[in-house]
Structure 1
Amino acid sequence: MDYLFARFFADTAAVCGHEKTLHANFMHQLLMDGVPRDCIAREHADGDKRIDLVVHANRSGDRWLARDDAVVAFEFKGGAYNVRNALHDTIDSEGYCADMDKLATLRRQGAEAWFVCVDMAELGLALSPRQQQRVAGQCARRGVHFAYYAQGADHCVIARPGTKPVDVALACGMVRNEGPVRWQDCLPELASLLNRADVTEDTVTGFIYHALQRAGVGTNRLSLETYFNCAAQGTRMHQRPDLCVFGDRVGGRFNLYRSGDRRRPNDGIKIGDLQAVIEVKSSANARRVSAAAFAKKIAADIDKLVWWRERLGQARLGAGYADVSKPDYVMIAVDNSQSSLAPSTLDDLRHHAAKNSVHFHYLKVAHNEKA
């Protein structure tokens, strides 16, 4: 597992944004390592709880072998909360985080459990060496492994219960496929990944992230749940697209403010560099949801993209960008049901998308015996 963390932390060393971007990148690392695509789940249901990432496979030699039960589980902490480093808010002075207890439940069921922290240096490092020891101790008492990375360091820290923490050097020579790659290039790879009837919306989004990476869009251009100041609606909450694709200028800085300084908003750079806004609609319970209800949800997400076009278009003009046709607005609908949507329903959805200049892609999940 150490080599996976060495790759993951090296790849996300410049990323400052929403925690879910970290989930998606680690899912990408697992898929690249050969974990079968039907053995990975984001936001895995465990009773009334959700686990960030769960793998139903174990490594045997140089292969990952599928298993029915959860074999490895991960909870991630890190990200930008407005101007704050998320670790400041989610880990208390004793090193405790409630997500450790979520992992402890799966640990008692036999799964290998990892509590993973990315300390985003741009917002001020949250965990001192002493605090890292406290976190490791809290994890150890629950039989949970701890992986920690302070962005900017040349190593990460791995602490397993009953052993001393060790420094692990980051992977060298990580390939960063930055350049003028189109988001459309991910679609053939994405179609091949969708082989499970129970694939959830979060897992689909992770597959899209992976397919974009495979197509050549690098880590510093991909962000889940991106915050934009122009999306504030008079409250502390912001609307956030499922996935954004940027050009090279953003450089992984997807947060609201440079260095957490409210006087230095990132919107101007992000909006000018934005290439695609992607909304994803899928339902693991599609077999229990009517086709009409599913189509209505897709139409609502197309309307959401129209809202984004209006907000971002106004913001682009305000920032001095003349071309308001950018970015692309993309609706990816993944149908989990036994039968496809009716041709007339699909025609209506395509027409609704086309009249609003939204790229519409409908992908049918292939049902297999395991599903």
Structure 2
Amino acid sequence: MEAQPATWAGQPTTDSMHYLNQAAGGLMPDSVLHAVSHYMQREQALGAYIASQQVQPQLQQLYARLAELLHCQPADIALTTGNTHGWCAVVGALPLEAGDRVLVTPGEWGGNYAMLRQLQARTGCVVEEMPCTPGGALDMAALQASVDARVKLVALTWVPANGCTVYDAVALGQLCARHGIPYIVDAAQALGHIPVDVQALQCDALTAPGRKWLCGPRGTGLVYLKPGFAARLQPMTVDHVSCPITPTGPVLRHDARVLEQSEASMALRLGLLAALDTAQAQGWPQRFAAIAQRATQLRAALAQVPGLRLHSLPDAPAGCGIVPFTLEGYTPAQVQQALLAQDIQVAASGMGYTPLDMQARGLTAVVRASVAWHTSEADIAALVSALQRLAASHTVPA
């Protein structure tokens, strides 16, 4: 692999692997592994509770780092075990009733959609798709015309998991603010990939995992709640952290940590802090720019492979770090396995990732290549060369 720029100190060690699967999970820098293992040794020596008490200052730094990244206050942040945990905690706490309209995009994450369908069956709310242009962008004029008093939630998966597009989350936030509609942004594929400013988004809630573009450990995540929004929630589960016991009885917290509970891995949270510290030292703007540059290069290179079809929608920006495609004569799973045998890692994304979009376009699965800040030109060249060989062979791997 080509040498990386000196600014990428602390990058993960990939050995001979060409890693193009950032949208599934980012490779953790060495600092993360050191933070996790060091804390586990401390916990082994001192026990869980004393070890946890000793690292409280570092945990407060984690809230501060996330708040800085999102442009909010530390009290607006709750820590979770992952994106699904946080997203379902918020949406499941909304007091939806029969006839309430819940609006989603065609690119809604399958797990979120499954949760909403459960709420529809339980409460009688109605899940509807927002109108989009033929190019895949939100049709804001049509959406404005369709909004009425029954719309009680707008849920946006900002960057869909199959990489079809990047929705205009700011314009959608402006519409929701004008109408007083609760607005939740799933930033699982956005945070650490593109700039995120919750003030500009005007969202009431935003969720993300630590394991993707932030390059933290799996089992970490966060929720942002707009100040005052917690009072509108009715959490399905609480404990003495989210609902402290007082002399007069349990009282729900009034900030984002109404969604937190007492049991959590301190080691993984310290690992997430280490990942954020590493990224901050490198510079978030530099990382965003590197991702966009490599994504543009990857998209252009893949377009030259015979028999390969890109599946981004026309309005998707060239710099989106997720690039979906199919290769004639092969299923996405076959492409994934053939590439893995050559030490190249991509994902095979099935219909469950974005069921509404993929059904609408007649897709059952796509190959998903996704770049990171440390993706090299050699990684892209290796992928393209391997796909060209597959295309030329016309032989389906066993």
TM-score by length of 2: 0.32
Structure number with the higher strand fraction is 1
Which gives a bigger RCO, structure 1 or 2 (Cα 8 Å, sep 6+)? 2
TM-score by length of structure 1 reads 0.33
Which structure's CA Rg is the greater one? Answer: 2
